[in-house]
Amino acid sequence: MHHFLTVLLLCFLPAGLFAQEYHRWDINEDGSISWRIKGDIPHNDHIEMSGSRISAVLRYGVDDKGDFSMTRTLVWPMLRTIPNNTHASLTRTYAMDAFDLVVANRKPLALEKTISITLDGTMKVESMAGNDLQLTRRFFPSMDDSDFYEMYLIRNLSDKKYKIEIPEYNTIYTTDPKTE
């Protein structure tokens, strides 16, 4: 029996010696968690968030160049085509990023480099467009209504002047009551 335990220990010992202590997410002092991007890309992940009348699955990632992307699948459980069947809820997927529409000094924003993603009850994404413009996105469902919120902030970290242009954007989707 003693020989068997020694062999068993030796079988598992090398795996422990070569195991890496890698973790993508860090716990912050306020209880939130953050992924500070440091060459551990490309990487894709997802998180589900729910409010009182809406749920969202956020599928997000940072590519090998540091560019952030995300699709949101929004679900309205109270809008069902089949009563008492949660799989029949109105569901839509969106992939547009508001920063794609922004122009700085008559040019699209410089290539983005994602710095961090923080989960604190919301999803907060911080990145840089070039060396001067800090971009912040925040995503979260409403706790009171059937709304999903996206907040975008551009902060100039330099002395250089920027004229930021944000076009008006409004898209309306109308469902077909016969099929949905």
| Alpha-carbon gap, residue 130 to 88, rounded angstroms | 44
* Phi and psi angles of residue 101, each rounded to the nearest 5 degrees, phi first: -90, -15
| Alpha-carbon gap, residue 170 to 166, rounded angstroms | 12
For the chain, the C-alpha Rg in angstroms (whole number) is 22
Over residues 31-54, the pLDDT tens digits come to: 999 999 988 899 999 999 999 999
Over residues 150-176, the pLDDT tens digits come to: 999 999 999 999 999 999 988 888 887
Q: Is the pTM of this model over 0.85?
A: no
Q: Which of 129, 126, 124, 117 has its CA nearest to residue 158?
A: 129
